[in-house]
Amino acid sequence: MTRIRKQEDWIHLFQGNIGVWEMEAVLTAMRSGRISEGELVESFEENFADYVGRTYAVAVSSGTAGLMLSLRALGIGPGDEVIASPYSWHQIAHAISLVGATPVFADMDYWSGTLQPAAVASRITSRTKAILAGNTNGHPAPWQGLRELAVEREIVLLEDSTESIGSVYQGRRTGAFGRCAIFDFSQASALACGEGGMVVTDDPGLATELRHMRSHRIEDRLSVSVGGRVPLQAGMSEISAALGLAQLDRIDEILAQRKKVESHYLRHIQSFEGIKPPYLAPDVDEIHWFTYLVHLGTRFPRSARNQILEDLATESVEAAAYCNPLHLQYFYNRYGYRKGDLPTVERISDRAIALPFHGNLREDEVMFIVGTAKDSSANVGAGAAIY
């Protein structure tokens, strides 16, 4: 296949959708003289809460910091268990260990990649304090069933929405379903601030506690009540907020551009035999994918997946293994996890390839990406349908 790019001119896995509006917003913030947390952060919080459909939003330095603050604000720490999925891109679940709680990983649904109520129920113990469910790669989790389970067992339900801005479940945007929901705005997100995140909730007490634990303002220095907490110093800058506000103003346009790229992939991926097609659960209204995933057939071992990634890199295409399951990472050996514990996660993650996905991709680039991956797969092994 003829290469269309020089080695140094890569087709990137992720690329921010930054235009003149964002640049002007950031320059205005920088010229204001106030670059730490201020009015722009407050405005971003208000506008983002309106977009998601929640009452309160608290801007933070990252999605991981957002979950750390949420767990601390809910009194979850050493001796407590939090059920989570080990399968995703953003490893927000690291925050469970960072607050001293114990992560209890559950297997995922084969088609959607999300936690299922039955899998969660089998992992609940007397120490379980919360369920952390994510909208994996943009696909909403089964929130109705998870909420019913959480209410029945008197467990807090938390939502990881770092991969699903704009997706809709039963008429509501993701971010609207947990006691609180966490978003991350790093490079890969459709709404990208470089770094940063947001916690949204309808609970006024939780929102207040999150703000107190996030950082102390100058006017809070002499407060007895605020001084009784040790903050994380995890606020968002005015510059990040300015970029976030500008992106939020354009979010429908940004998502529409990504949908167009998705249509290019769907058109050209038809010739790629033996892969799992995109899945939409019956109670999901709309999905905005976080990345474009290809699930290889069962004849492809992990080594073949890695060879395809190397072949794409040779052609200046940046791709990646979508997931390195948390339960198989060295840190989590201390909790007793071993290979074979979560077979569905391991089966899918060994064969999942994240292809470049952002609004700036052209159709000829998508065609080249798919063609390169297809040619490589033919060289490393004949695929059988994963389903």
Per-residue pLDDT tens over the stretch 186-245:
988 999 998 999 999 999 999 999 999 998 666 666 666 666 667 788 999 999 999 999
Strand, helix or coil for residue 294: strand
**pTM of the predicted structure, to 2 decimals:** 0.92
DSSP at 109: -
Q: Work out the average pLDDT over 301-311.
A: 93
pLDDT band, residue 34 (cuts 50/70/90): confident
At residue 95, what are phi and psi to the nearest 5 degrees? -60, -25
Q: Tell me the average pLDDT across 254-278.
A: 89
Check residues 26 and 276 and name the one with the higher pLDDT. 26
In this prediction, what percent of the chain has a pLDDT beyond 70?
92
The residues near 374 (Cβ < 8 Å, ≥ 6 apart) are 271, 272
Q: How confident is the model at residue 6 (pLDDT cuts 50, 70, 90)?
A: low
Reported as type and span, the H/E element at residue 92 is none
Residue 353's region, left for phi above 0, alpha for psi from -120 to 50, else beta, is beta
Of the candidates 222, 184, 229, 179, which has an alpha carbon nearest to the alpha carbon of residue 204?
179
Determine the Cα–Cα distance for residues 9 and 317; give it in Å rounded to an integer. Answer: 9
Q: Which residues pair with 60 in a beta bridge?
A: 197
State mean pLDDT over 59-81: 97
d(CA 324, CA 306): 12
Cβ neighbours of 94 (radius 10 Å)? 18
- Kindly tell me if the per-residue pLDDT of 384 is higher than 50: no
- The mean pLDDT value of the chain amounts to 91
Q: What domains lie within the chain, and their CATH numbers?
A: 20-249 (3.40.640.10), 251-380 (3.90.1150.10)
Pairing state between β 168-169 and 172-173: antiparallel
Distance CA 335, CA 331 (A): 9
pLDDT of residue 217: 65
Q: How far apart (Å, rounded) are the C-alpha atoms in residues 120 and 117?
A: 5
Instruction: Give the pLDDT band (50/70/90) at residue 387.
Output: very low
Q: Considering only 91-100, 138-147, 219-228, 319-328, which range has the smallest mean pLDDT?
A: 219-228
* Terminal Cα-to-Cα distance of the chain (whole angstroms): 29
d(CA 178, CA 338): 30
Alpha-carbon gap, residue 200 to 238, rounded angstroms:
19
For β-strands 156-160 and 180-184, DSSP reports them as parallel
Give the pLDDT of residue 29. 87
pLDDT band at 297 (very low <50, low <70, confident <90, very high): confident
Strand pairing class (81-84; 128-134): parallel
pLDDT band at 322 (very low <50, low <70, confident <90, very high): very high
Which residue would you say has higher pLDDT here, 28 or 36?
A: 28
Q: Name the least confident of 229-238, 249-258, 356-365.
A: 229-238
Supply 35's token pair.
């670059």
